Amino acid sequence: MSPRQLVLPALVWLAACKQDASFTPLMDPLPSVEDTSAPPTSSDDSSVEPPPDPECPEPGVVSAAPATRNTECRNLEQRNALDAAEEWATNDSTFSHHPLHSRSQGAPVVGHLTDDEYPDIVGVFFAWAPGNCGKDSTEPFGVLRVVSGDGSGEHWSIKTLDEGGGSDSLGLLRAFSPALADVDADGEPEIVVGVWDGVSDRYIAALSAEGAVEWVSPSLGSGLVQLAEVYDIDQDGQPEVYADGHVLDGATGAVLWASAELPAGPSIVADLDGDGSQELINAAGVWNDDGTERCRHNLYDSRYGYDLAVADFEGDGEGEVVTAQMSATSGHISVTTAQCRLKAFSYQNVRSPTIADFDADGLPEIGISTLSPDEFMVLEADLSPIWQQNMATPSYDFVKTAASFDFEGDGFPEAIHMTRQIRLLSGTDGQPRYSDDGLLDCPMAYDHPVVVDIDNDDSAELVLLGNYGLRILGDRLNGWADAGEVWNQHSFSLTNINPDLTVPTYSAGNWPEYNTFRSGETRANRGQASGRVDLQSELVHRCEVECDRGMVQLTLRLANAGMADAGDVITAALYAESDAGARTLLHVLDFGTLVRSGYTTEGLTLQLDLEDLPDGRLVLVADDDGEGTSRIDECDEDNNVLVMMDLCGI
């Protein structure tokens, strides 16, 4: 208790009592002791600090958010006839070197082998003679030709390996589908071909882009060797060649491993189960990269040919295998998992399959020909038919192949059916979009149509090779959608090879970006085939508490209300706009390279000087590079603009 508190009760008591003679006066009270527990109060207000000026908050990370999708933002299927025309072709008098070798029974392959701007077409031709389907049975060897994609002529050809510095006892197999790839990882592409001694023994050879022999494998025996394919099976950076159950060293041709259990025919290498290791897939099952068996499904009949395709039919990240067994008595089509578990099976005398999202429902379907009945059909993954179309081809036309491509770029791929005819069919119902009945006189072997941009006109062409020679079909007005410039082997799936013909060390399969097989389609759709993009500008936050200091803060972002991902360089331009409508560019904002359908970008926060906004108005334009140019085709180009007015009350 302080002295002041002690004095106050005594004073009160004195005022209530009478003084007597014995009273001794009290001493004057002690002076008050200053309370130093708090600072003294000053009447001078000049020492009080004013409150701080308000500031806009630190923006931090403004996360992406869901956006409302416009379900009408998609293409309608184009139904007009495809106006194909022959761009150029070869015939029995085209070639001056080995002139009688003018027709073919093997598939063409395409890639850049020379220094000019055009892709090159590579194929094996046989000698022509009247009768016997035009084949000269006295000529045991074929001729490998490299032809310029612009139709200007042949670069070179070779019949026996001595023409390329090799043995004169070995020549080209007459019915063979070659492969193009940098098989020895030296940065230069090679051509992988089948050769034989003219009697029985078959071999695989690698030729340089100029036709020099680089290596010849040991004999693979006398079996039917009709194609070779190139992969980096064990992911060591050194490609391997697969042919007739043999895995060859891509640098030397030496046999790395072989198995009688591996069927002669096509193969596919992909990481089906997403475990980071690739598998070798064939008609009998799935093998590990060291040749050990992973699993077998016991559906393969070794007496008959087969073909394969792979895709992710369920959208779960794992691939399934489509096997087409070609036989009048035991032909079938099956769908199996990476563990060889059977998911679907149907007895059909089928031929080579292709895979695409034909009905634009977001999941792929199987396009395939049947021999009996003579049909082309598109099947769901459970092998139930979406449609079947009678083809009315000759009964003896037993080789039928398929591919797919979205010729109009509308998101609805067409099916390509090739026998002695060529048919382009609507992917949704099979109605013919183009027909040509005059292609072939004789059956093919592993022929199939190839879709590439062969002459750099940004419009796809069909490259057809058969008993008529080489034939190139394109749109009469160069109006077909663009395609790639590479189709390097029979089992082509776009991601199995790089554009420069180097071999990817790892191939996960081409899903989810494409989810196709034997398709020339190069546009990633991620299961959004007919969907389109719809970018919109959004203002997330506007802070004007610093206006008196000449500053305004905005957080901006873009939304994709379309049914397809925006997957390009995505920018927006921010302009100051005058009362008269004139715009001055302030910033070009970079929103990355991908905006998913139904989502926004992350927000970008800007602090703007009001001196740059004399009339207090800003305009944000989505998909604008700052020069008024857009990159992305949208279903609605009129909703890209956001106008922000009366900033800071100006």
Q: Model confidence over 458-488: pLDDT tens digits?
A: 999 999 988 788 999 999 999 999 999 999 9
- In the structure encoding, which two tokens stand for residue 37, read together? 């527990």
**By residue range, what is the domain housing residue 423?**
84-475
Looking at per-residue confidence, does 397 or 500 come out higher? 500
pLDDT at 22 over 50: no
- Please indicate, yes or no, if residue 196 is contained in any of the structural domains: yes
> Considering only 14-18, 473-477, 584-588, which range has the smallest mean pLDDT?
14-18
Record the tokens describing residue 429, joined without a space: 């119902």
CA 489, 494, 496, 497 dihedral sign is: positive
Nearest Cα to Cα of residue 501 among 122, 105, 155, 174 = 122
- pLDDT in the model for residue 419: 80
Side chain identity at residue 63, one-letter code: S
- Residue 107: per-residue pLDDT: 87
Closest CA to 473 of 485, 459, 489: 459
Q: Are residues 470 and 586 in the same domain?
A: no
Residue 416 covered by a domain: yes
CA 449, distance to chain mean position in Å, is: 20
Contact between 153 and 202 under an 8 Å Cβ cutoff? The reply is: no
Which pLDDT belongs to residue 650? 87
Residues 6+ apart with CB under 8 A from 546: 53, 54, 55, 56, 552, 553
| Domain contains 523 | no
What's the pLDDT score for residue 202? 95
Distance between the two ends of the chain, CA-based, in angstroms? 63
Nearest to 608 by CA among 549, 538, 559, 558: 549
Residue 46 lies in a domain: no
- DSSP lists the bridge partners of residue 125 as 143
Using the structure block, give the residue that is written with the tokens 């089906």: 272
Residue 140 pLDDT > 70, yes or no? Answer: yes
Indicate the helix (H) or strand (E) that contains 403: strand 401-405
| Helices (H), ranges, 253-394 | none
Query: For 364-406, how does the pLDDT look when each residue is reduced to its tens digit (9 = 90+)?
Result: 999 998 877 788 999 999 999 999 998 876 555 556 789 999 9
Residue 41 pLDDT > 90, yes or no?
no
Which of 37-46, 63-72, 247-256, 495-504 comes out lowest in average pLDDT?
37-46
Task: Tell me how many domains the chain contains.
Answer: 2
Burial 206-225 (b: 16+ CB within 10 A, else e): bbbbebebbbbbeebbeeeb
**269, two tokens:** 């290498």
pLDDT > 50? residue 7 = no
| Helix or strand holding residue 213 (H, E) | strand 213-216
CA angle in degrees (0–180, nearest 5) for 435-436-442: 130
Mean pLDDT value of segment 301-326: 90
Q: Which of 439, 460, 475 is the last residue of a domain?
A: 475
Mode of pairing for the β-strands spanning 285-287 and 279-282: antiparallel
Give, in order, the Cα–Cα distances in Å from 291 to each of 216, 248, 272, 300, 577: 22, 12, 16, 18, 68
Helix, strand, coil percentages in the chain from 3-state DSSP, rounded to 5: 5, 35, 60
Percentage of the chain modeled with pLDDT above 90: 67
Q: What pLDDT is recorded for position 458?
A: 94
- For the chain, the average pLDDT equals 87
Same structural domain for residues 264 and 194?
Answer: yes
- Cite the DSSP H helix spans in 419-560: none
Local confidence band at 442 (pLDDT 50, 70, 90 cut-offs): low
The residue type found at 541 is H
Does residue 44 belong to any structural domain of this protein? no
Q: Which residues pair with 446 in a beta bridge?
A: 106
The pLDDT tens digits of the residues spanning 75-117 come to 999 888 898 999 999 988 999 999 999 988 888 999 999 999 9
105 and 187 together in one domain = yes
Please check whether residues 470 and 544 belong to one and the same domain: no
With beta carbons less than 8 A apart as the criterion, state whether 421 and 393 touch.
yes
What pLDDT, on a 0 to 100 scale, did the predictor assign at position 589?
A: 97
pTM: 0.83
Q: How far apart are CA 334 and CA 22, in angstroms?
A: 129
By CB atoms closer than 10 A (0-12, 13-18, 19+), residue 645 is exposed
Q: What percent of the chain has pLDDT over 70?
A: 89
User: Given pLDDT bands bounded at 50, 70 and 90, which one contains residue 261?
Assistant: confident
Q: What is the pLDDT of residue 26?
A: 40
Q: Between 362 and 122, where is the model more confident?
A: 122
Q: Which amino acid is at 150?
A: D
Distance CA 85, CA 78 (A): 19
The model's confidence at residue 189, banded by pLDDT at 50, 70 and 90, is: very high
Whether residues 468 and 549 share a domain: the answer is no
CA atoms within 13 A on the CB side of 162: 5
Residue 4 to residues 10, 39, 95, 193, 279, Cα–Cα distance (Å): 11, 19, 126, 114, 96
Q: What is the DSSP letter of 341?
A: -
Measure the CA–CA gap between 299 and 333, rounded to whole angstroms. 10
> Residue 12: enclosing H or E segment and its boundaries?
helix 3-14
pLDDT at 45: 55
* CATH number of the domain bearing residue 604: 2.60.40.10
Residue ending a domain, choose from 460, 475, 490: 475
Which amino acid is it at 249?
Answer: D
Choose among 198, 204, 179, 201: nearest CA to 123: 179
272 pLDDT above the threshold of 90? yes
What's the mean pLDDT in 349-358?
A: 91
pLDDT at site 399: 65
Residues 559 and 635 in one domain: yes
Q: Are 258 and 118 in a shared domain?
A: yes
Same domain, residue pair 281 and 427: yes
457 and 537 assigned to the same domain: no
Give every CB contact of residue 27 below 8 A, 6+ residues apart in sequence.
none
Confidence of residue 2 (pLDDT cuts 50, 70, 90): very low
Among 108, 206, 98, which Cα is nearest to 149's? 108
**The predicted structure's pLDDT at residue 14:** 30
Final residue in a domain of this structure, among 435, 452, 475: 475
Whether 178 and 124 have beta carbons less than 8 Å apart is answered as yes
pLDDT (0 to 100) of residue 23: 37
Identity at 36, one-letter amino acid code: T
Q: Same structural domain for residues 536 and 465?
A: no
pLDDT the model gives residue 322: 96
Q: Hey, is 6 helix, strand or coil? A: helix
Higher per-residue confidence, 33 vs 72: 72
Assess if residue 15 is contained within a domain: no
* Bigger pLDDT: 323 vs 26: 323
Residue 372, pLDDT score: 73
Query: What's the rounded Cα separation, in Å, for the pair 293 and 280?
Result: 9
Cα 555 to Cα 62, 577, 600, 645: the distances in Å are 8, 18, 13, 15
Band of residue 329 on the pLDDT scale cut at 50, 70, 90? confident
pLDDT for residue 327: 79
CATH of the domain at 346: 2.130.10.10
C-alpha distances in angstroms, 73 versus 469, 521, 529, 565, 597? 44, 21, 12, 12, 11
Contacts with 442 (C-beta within 8 Å, 6 or more apart), sequence order: 105, 133, 134, 135, 420, 467
Q: Are residues 547 and 432 in the same domain?
A: no
In a domain, 58, yes or no: no
In this prediction, residues 413-428 reach a mean pLDDT of 90
Looking at the domain assignment, is residue 491 inside a domain?
A: no
The residues near 530 (Cβ < 8 Å, ≥ 6 apart) are 74, 75, 76, 77, 360, 410, 411, 412, 563
| Section 496-517 average pLDDT | 92
Shared-domain flag, residues 304 and 225? yes
Q: Who has greater pLDDT, 289 or 206?
A: 206
Q: At 11, which helix (H) or strand (E)?
A: helix 3-14
SS3 assignment, position 447 = coil
- Give the C-alpha separation, 250 to 180, whole Å: 12
Q: Name the phi and psi angles at 237, rounded to 5.
A: 85, -5
Q: What average pLDDT score do residues 535-546 get?
A: 96
**pLDDT for 342 beyond 90:** yes
